[in-house]
Amino acid sequence: MFPNRNSFYSYSGLTDAMAKFPAFAGTGDERTRKRELAAFLANIDHESGGLVHVEEINQAAWGDYCDTGQPYGCPAGQRAYHGRGPIQLSWNTNYKAAGDALGLDLLNNPDLVKEDASVAWQTALWFWMTQSGAGTMTAHSAITGGGGFGETIRTINGALECGGRNTAQVQARVDAYERFAATLGVDPGDEGTLRC
């Protein structure tokens, strides 16, 4: 599925992380579970360039992800909270929340996400399972609750891609989703729910 995958993104790292989130691809009937897996794979494919990039490639944006208005600030430095991992976790607020949920000090040591494959996958699944981003549902509930693939896009990058913004990026995600769904032998769902 990822022929050019960076060896950092190991299968054992993924399965270790999945053990911490048993509802991931484990909720609903077989079709729903396969759709969730296809949706997750499509989004991480898009976010990481096919599981090639461990860190955000646009280094010019690295200093843009520090919300200094938070009481905990940015102790690892202004440029420390750029995108890392398969879902490109970014912002000090997300590193703090993910670290708290996972029992890791990601706020002070965000590089754990690029140094430990299990941690990288855990942050991706944490975001997928618990965060609503620009949407009203998590990516997990978007698929298991009938919102459709488009709602996963809204959750992950809706502020930049949904509502007619960056339609090429949305289409790239949809194309990847349809490809992974076909690989997994499941229909992608209603055409009207594929975009945001």
pLDDT attached to residue 134:
83
Q: Which of 36, 47, 56, 161 is catalytic?
A: 47
Number of structural domains (the chain) is 1
For residue 4, is it within any domain? no
- Are 57 and 82 within 8 A, CB to CB? no
Asked whether residue 35 is domain-assigned, the answer is: yes
For residue 120, tell me if it sits in a domain: yes
**Which residues in the chain land under pLDDT 70?**
none
* pLDDT on residue 95: 98
CA nearest 65: which of 30, 100, 93, 104? 93
Residue 127: inside a domain, yes or no?
A: yes
Length of the chain: 196
The per-residue pLDDT for 133 is: 86
pLDDT digits 0-9 by tens, 56-76 = 999 999 989 999 999 999 999
Distance in angstroms (rounded) separating the CA atoms of residues 170 and 162: 8
What pTM value is reported for the model? 0.96
Known catalytic membership, residue 178: no
In this structure, what CATH number is given to the domain that contains residue 84? 1.10.530.10
Q: Is residue 68 domain-resident?
A: yes
Q: What domain range includes position 44?
A: 11-193
pLDDT at 71: 97
The predicted pLDDT at position 22 comes to: 95
* Distances, alpha carbon 90 to alpha carbons 1, 22, 66, 175, in Å: 25, 24, 9, 24
Q: Taking the CA atoms of the chain, what radius of gyration do you get in angstroms? A: 16
pLDDT for 75:
98
pLDDT (0 to 100) of residue 29: 97
Residue 1 lies in a domain: no
Query: Would you say residue 36 lies in a domain?
Result: yes
In a domain, 2, yes or no: no
Query: Counting Cβ atoms within 10 Å, is residue 185 exposed (0-12), middle (13-18) or buried (19+)?
Result: exposed
